[in-house]
Structure 1
Amino acid sequence: MSEALGPVRLRVAPSPTGDPHVGTAYMSLFNLAFVRQQGGQFVLRVEDTDRARYRDDSEQQLYDTLSWLGLHWDEGPDKGGPFAPYRQSERLETYRPYVEQLLEAGHAYRCWCSTERLQEMRERQQALKQPTGYDRRCLGLTRDERAELPGFTETPVVRMLIPEDPPLTFTDVIRGEVNAPRPDDQVILKADGFPTYHLAVVVDDHLMGITHVVRGEEWISSTPKHVLLYTWLGLPMPQFAHMPLLRNANKSKISKRKNPAARLTWFQEQGYLPEALRNFLALLGYSMPEGQEVFSFDEMVEHFDWQRVNTVGPVFDLDKLDWLNGHYIRSIDEGDLAGRLVQRLQLDGALGDEPTQQQRDVVLAATPLVQTRMVKLDETTGMLGFLLVGDDGLVVEDDAIGSLRDDAGTVLDAATAALQQLPEWTTSAIEAALRAALVEGLGVKPKLAFGPLRVAVTGRRVSPPLFESMEILGRESSLRRLQALRQRVIA
């Protein structure tokens, strides 16, 4: 959209019921891009009315992961703002006047049906292949009248009374005119006094001045309920935009139960860069002008247009994310990458809580050796851990030992003799000495000649460049490791 729409206000409203879902980041990204383009405000609201599934640590995880991803909100429970509180559980008294208004106007009614009675009703409808939905058993009855009938429970819920001809068509910013199915008599106030999503979201969005409601396409079927509530309560209607759902390769909706990548924390654990993940999430639902695939958040903001959102459910292709992540790793400044590698080494326990300057210098020196080889940061410890452990603490992997040939002892002896005589310990001098001693002197092919040295120095068959690694490790440690493997080969 090229013209500014004025002071737009958008929000995300996740539920703290477990690890944050990647869909929350996906929605936040598009909300925030539009808000920043239009000079508006982005609100984080916590919808914690589902007390049965509520988890104490989930809210803090939400703050941490969205902040890590660089998706920063302007108002929220942790920041405050002019429309606080931003947790629904702290706003319970806010919703009651709206419930009473709907009851008095005849747009809602109390329902005393027990859970068992509702279950039996659904099972009967399914057996008869009828649409499932509340049968309005309580409509028009007083509490005492309903108590005389079976399946009564003392504390009622409040349901919407859907009219015979509800508005089922609405205008979507992304999709144009949308037709939705007829809704059921939705519960809007639960027996525990907590509002359901449908009432709370309408009231909160109104009171917080939300101008655009951007959410996943699974909410299309609920929009007629919300349109009715806005109309009945005499509230101005926001604009609706329903984003395509993130999908697995088999086109099913991505879920935390079936796909670990649905957890936002999983991307941190796997070592993805936040800028790569932002780029990837944008590509899933959006196309930049001229098909540009690598772009920053600021570039997305500059070119943002709802009409460029692809409504076909995007497939979560982790191979594409790996490619993007590798691209970003190769593109960032060495000092920046070194800092991230140090953080990863700390996370993996390969460094202490407070790395020494010497350790930081080692990582910085080794960063160019791995920058072009890494795909994700979870490779850091495997690639660089050998530089940060004592010689006695080096673990030589079993497959590395298994790769040694019968002439490994001879190669190690010749390499040790050549390296002991080096006047200077530099990459070029190390390489020249080893090629002269092993390739020319012993007549061993380079790959076979340097394999035992790699195993001795790094403990692995595959590692960063050998000669550069030995320069960083130093003469004494390199020689001690060659001798240690030589003793192991003899044994």
Structure 2
Amino acid sequence: MCPPPFKLPDTPCRTRFAPSPTGYLHLGSLRTALFNYLFAKATGGQFILRIEDTDQTRLVADAEERLYQDLEWLGLSWDEGPDKNGPYGPYRQSERLPLYKEHSDKLIREEKAYRCFCTPESLEAHRTAAEASGQPTIYPGTCSHVPLAESDARAQSGEKYAVRFKSSEKPIMIRDVVYNRFQKKEAEEDFIIMKRDGFPTYHFANVVDDRHMKITHVIRGAEWLISTPKHVELYNAFGWEPPQFVHLGLLVDANRQKLSKRDNSANMEFYKKGHVLPSALLNFAVLLGWRAPQTPKGDVMTLQDMADNFSLKFSKGDIIVSLSKLPFLQDKHLDELLTTPSSPLIHSHLLTPLRTALATFSSAQLPLPPKDRLIGPSPPASPLLTDPSYLPLVRRLLLSAKLDTSDPARRFADAVPALMYFFWPVPEAVLEGQLRGGQLAPVAPAERAMHLASAVEVLRSRLAALDGETAWTVAGLQRVIEEVRGDREYREVMGVGEGEDGLKQVYLPLRWALFAMNQGSPMAVAMEVLGKEETLRRLGVAKHVAETVEAAVARPEGKEKVEGQDAA
């Protein structure tokens, strides 16, 4: 019994990624490169990078260099390529022209191909006339009967020509790992294999190179399935065994239209500018038409996990690209990254974009009237940006702003409001507005201010008593919180009833005084990050605000405003 076609071979395989430098890497070509890479690694074989630059009129100047940079950024290293020595080079098609000429001449001599001296103008006139009369626009075979001797003489005299392959009169059947058998309804026309400029067509160079580079499996997008009969005919003409063909379902949008290179979701720069981790992007791409036989929980995989679980069992048919799973994968890979805080990716994908978002937020606040500003001048750098031990807290705070799949870079901008008082002191106007606006305990303003002033003073004095650098730790700060929670006098001031644990009544004044109620991480951790000096300073400011509001609200109408005490 034959093994299933998607089962991995027992021998090393050679695959290739063969992009054209007429544009930049996009999601579809990334997926093709990834699957070729994984298959080679899974079988202990080689992954080859070949540059197919035969379309000289459409080359983009920096496309090849950008391709190398993108593949390296993703971690998809190649075993052979234009920049590496290999036994089957050169690996740039424009440097292999003599090889294509040699093989096209061989087909001409064997009368399996012929020179076509038809001018572009005459071919266009034929197409126009055929369209007008409702006839097929295929090549009419004008030069197919030119005797070889006459053809040689005309070529030697300098007459320009292309080379056409003599196709079979009947359509041929090809086999594909994903689509099984495929056959077009009509036979191929005599298609061009060498152009008038001496360069090969994609179809011809592709076949010659795959043969000479000993490619065992051709893994590419399903848009090439319709061209595969041409390729198999060429293999047959040379007497070569074709490689195994594996065609991947097309990537389409929600409307089932082929994903355009102009779509954000197809554009590599979209993911890079959004600070999506390379590992998360690879994980996202590998799930576009493939699942591991032993699927890890949530489909979260490293590149090595993918290679260890790889097979050729791909989905048949179009693949709808939805970015909805990307935030989940990004967060999981970020968690893994935080286990190695020395990684440069921590800076490029976490700290640097966070600094940029903070600077942008600050710039937007400065033009506002002072009473409307949420922040003041920036204090010294927060340890959140310098101390690796706080990276998990940065991560947790970022999670408060969900990744926007339409613009992943927005995560950092959206997270700043939850982070701002780690980096800027709380303006007094903000504290006063919350106290007057009923955002705290549901009691009258004067009573609320009195309670808060007393509570803040108790907390400030207890925290000030923590002595030495080692005391200002999460454990030491948590002990103070527990002690205050159990303090009978404090419980009476804050109105803690019988049976209540009182923890909320400790956290509320701390959150208000230190973060204007804008902080959801553990309070002991947050105070450790702020440091003793800044924590006590903020508590002093908050006490002053509470006393000022208490005096202003409680005074009889017509009396002058009672000045609050200085910050303790």
TM-score range for the pair, normalised by the shorter chain length: 0.7 to 0.9
Residues of 2 paired with 1:324 and 1:278: CA distance? 10
Identify which range, 203-212 or 108-117, moves more after superposition: 108-117
Deviations 1:322-365 (Å, cap 9, x if unpaired)? 222223333454334875332225654838xxxx9977643541
Q: How does 1:82-481 map to 2 (within 5 A)?
A: 82-140=87-145, 155-166=160-171, 168-181=172-185, 182-257=187-262, 259-289=263-293, 292=296, 293-306=299-312, 308-336=313-341, 339-345=344-350, 348=353, 350=355, 361-371=386-396, 374=399, 378=409, 379-380=411-412, 383=415, 406-407=436-437, 421=461, 422-423=463-464, 424=466, 428=477, 468-476=525-533
Q: Tell me which amino acid in the other structure corresponds to 1:34.
A: F
Asked whether the 8 Å contact 1:9–1:210 carries over to 2, the reply is: yes
Identify which range, 275-284 or 435-444, moves more after superposition: 435-444
Residues of 1 paired with 2:133 and 2:514: CA distance? 71
Asked whether the 8 Å contact 2:337–2:343 carries over to 1, the reply is: no
In structure 2, the CA distance between the partners of 1:331 and 1:67, relative to structure 1 (3 Å rule), is same
Which structure has the greater CA radius of gyration? Answer: 2
1:13 Cα offset (Å): 0.4
Deviations 1:151-205 (Å, cap 9, x if unpaired)? xx97433222323224x21121233222235333322222322211111111111
Q: TM-score, normalised by structure 2?
A: 0.68
In structure 2, the CA distance between the partners of 1:477 and 1:449, relative to structure 1 (3 Å rule), is closer
1:124 Cα offset (Å): 4.6
Give the number of aligned pairs. Answer: 466
1:319 Cα offset (Å): 0.5
Residues of 2 paired with 1:454 and 1:129: CA distance? 80
Residues of 2 paired with 1:453 and 1:164: CA distance? 85
Q: Tell me which amino acid in the other structure corresponds to 2:293.
A: P
In structure 2, the CA distance between the partners of 1:217 and 1:454, relative to structure 1 (3 Å rule), is farther
Asked whether the 8 Å contact 2:254–2:321 carries over to 1, the reply is: yes
Match of 1:9 among 10, 14, 18: 14
Residues of 1 paired with 2:481 and 2:108: CA distance? 85
Asked whether the 8 Å contact 2:219–2:247 carries over to 1, the reply is: yes
RMSD: 4.6
Q: Tell me which amino acid in the other structure corresponds to 2:23.
A: G
Unaligned runs of 5+ in 1: 147-152
Residues of 2 paired with 1:479 and 1:121: CA distance? 88
Q: Tell me which amino acid in the other structure corresponds to 1:327.
A: K
1:93 Cα offset (Å): 1.8
Residues of 2 paired with 1:419 and 1:80: CA distance? 69
Q: Tell me which amino acid in the other structure corresponds to 1:189.
A: M
Asked whether the 8 Å contact 1:159–1:186 carries over to 2, the reply is: yes
In structure 2, the CA distance between the partners of 1:3 and 1:161, relative to structure 1 (3 Å rule), is closer
Asked whether the 8 Å contact 2:290–2:315 carries over to 1, the reply is: yes
Residues of 2 paired with 1:28 and 1:171: CA distance? 22
Residues of 2 paired with 1:188 and 1:439: CA distance? 92
1:134 Cα offset (Å): 2.8
2:229 match: secondary structure: helix
Residues of 1 paired with 2:397 and 2:108: CA distance? 65
1:334 match: secondary structure: coil
Q: Tell me which amino acid in the other structure corresponds to 1:368.
A: L
Q: TM-score, normalised by structure 1?
A: 0.77
Residues of 2 paired with 1:357 and 1:478: CA distance? 13
Asked whether the 8 Å contact 1:32–1:42 carries over to 2, the reply is: yes
Residues of 2 paired with 1:341 and 1:25: CA distance? 23
Asked whether the 8 Å contact 1:342–1:360 carries over to 2, the reply is: no
Asked whether the 8 Å contact 1:44–1:75 carries over to 2, the reply is: yes
Identity %: 35
In structure 2, the CA distance between the partners of 1:380 and 1:442, relative to structure 1 (3 Å rule), is farther
